[in-house]
């Protein structure tokens, strides 16, 4: 059966956004490798500069894709897609063709979340090249290393909404200056996460000295992703250290403090995502017992 052509929308209705969320939740490997990232899901409801590609037959949603600028002022476009489980290959190929058409002469990057993503086959058949790999690492929360002593005058405390927003955004931008998805966060991006039902300031840990923010470890507890024991998964949501504080060895202290927080909440497994190119972070995590669970691949067109 030939898939119909996708149509493009500047915004989704509430009903359409809900249908996309349900389609993503029903993907075969959604618990371990969601087909749409958190960023993409937030864009379903919020006003944002993205294009929504919807593919449906009659009233049945068969697939959805999202296209957005990677960063303000950037010409590179970023894309993700999700398909109905029973028509993955055909629908993914149709959506990918439509995304390439929408991108025109601009370079585009599209994520395949996990090895079972239909994007892998569609991208390979279309001749797209691999441009990035993102590891999902996991480790048990039992048997944690002790938290190293902090440098003189440094303390770790929870994030305070409204008080710490600007300082955190500034440090986050410097810490992830070379990583477009994370380093370009604005107050609106932060507010969207704070408004999420999973947000807990007690698990958003800041390292500071004399009122100056030096680094942070933002943890997350997943409400709908469970480990093999049926217990929610914890996540190293974002871990960053201000480049001005490099050499203080705050990364491992913040990481272990956040893991201890998750363990105290009764969680048994923690996951994190790290770019293959971030050799320093990969080395830190592997040295503390994290192992590869899955790999996301980003394919690219153009320069």
CA pair distance 271, 125, nearest whole angstrom: 31
Q: Examine residue 188 and state whether it is found in any structural domain, yes or no.
A: yes
Question: Residue 302: inside a domain, yes or no?
Answer: no
Domains held by the chain: number:
2
Domain-embedded: residue 303: no
- One domain, residues 154 and 103: no
- Scan for tokens 């249908």, then name that residue: 19
Query: At which of 65, 100, 127 does a domain end?
Result: 127
Q: Is the pLDDT of residue 73 over 60?
A: no
pLDDT digits (tens, 9 = 90+) for 102-145: 999 999 999 999 999 999 999 999 999 999 999 999 999 999 99
For the chain, the distance separating the N- and C-terminal CA atoms, rounded to the nearest angstrom, is 35
Radius of gyration of the chain (CA): 20
- Say if 31 falls within a structural domain: yes
| Residues 155 and 291 occupy one common structural domain | yes
Question: Residue 168 and residue 178: Cα distance in Å, rounded?
Answer: 17
Residues 162, 63, single domain; the answer is no
Q: How far apart are CA 177 and CA 244, in angstroms?
A: 13
Q: Do 51 and 29 sit in the same domain of this protein?
A: yes
pLDDT tens, residue by residue, 156-189:
999 999 999 999 999 999 999 888 678 889 999 9
For residue 235, the enclosing domain spans: 138-297
- Comparing CA positions, the residue from 229, 242, 112 lying closest to residue 177 is 242
- Residue at which a domain ends, from 127, 160, 179: 127
Q: Does one domain contain both 256 and 291?
A: yes
pTM check: above 0.85: yes
Rounded Cα distance, 91 and 119, in Å = 10
Q: Are 293 and 271 in contact (CB under 8 A)?
A: yes
pLDDT band at 272 (very low <50, low <70, confident <90, very high): very high
Give CA separation, 11 vs 22, 69, 102, 185, in Å: 18, 15, 15, 21
Structure confidence at residue 71 (pLDDT): 58
1 falls within a domain: no
CATH at 27: 3.40.630.30
Tell me, yes or no, whether 264 lies in a domain: yes
Pick from 104, 127, 150: which residue ends a domain?
127
């Amino acid at each position: 059966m030939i898939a119909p052509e996708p149509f493009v929308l500047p915004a989704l209705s509430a009903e359409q956004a809900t249908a996309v969320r349900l389609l993503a939740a029903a993907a075969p490997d959604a618990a371990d490798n969601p087909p749409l990232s958190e960023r993409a899901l937030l864009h379903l409801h919020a006003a944002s500069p993205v294009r929504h590609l919807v593919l449906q037959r009659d009233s049945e949603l068969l697939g959805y894709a999202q296209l957005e600028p990677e960063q303000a002022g950037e010409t590179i476009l970023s894309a993700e897609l999700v398909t109905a489980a029973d028509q993955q290959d055909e629908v993914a190929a149709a959506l990918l063709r439509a995304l390439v058409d929408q991108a025109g002469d601009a370079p585009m990057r599209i994520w395949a979340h996990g090895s079972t993503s239909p994007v892998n086959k569609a991208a390979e058949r279309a001749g797209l090249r691999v441009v990035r790999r993102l590891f999902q690492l996991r480790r048990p929360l039992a048997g944690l290393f002790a938290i190293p002593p902090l440098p003189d005058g440094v303390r770790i405390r929870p994030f305070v909404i409204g008080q710490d927003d600007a300082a955190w955004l500034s440090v986050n931008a410097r810490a992830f200056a070379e990583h477009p998805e994370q380093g370009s966060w604005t107050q609106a991006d932060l507010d969207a996460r704070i408004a999420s039902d999973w947000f807990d300031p007690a698990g958003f840990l800041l390292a500071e000295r004399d009122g100056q923010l030096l680094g942070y470890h933002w943890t997350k507890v997943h409400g709908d992703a469970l480990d093999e024991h049926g217990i929610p998964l914890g996540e190293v949501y974002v871990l960053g250290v201000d480049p001005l504080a490099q050499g203080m060895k705050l990364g491992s202290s913040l990481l272990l403090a956040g893991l201890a927080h998750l363990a105290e909440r009764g969680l048994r497994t923690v996951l994190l995502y790290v770019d293959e190119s971030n050799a320093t972070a990969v080395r830190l995590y592997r040295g503390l017992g994290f192992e590869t669970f899955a790999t996301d691949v980003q394919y690219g067109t153009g320069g």
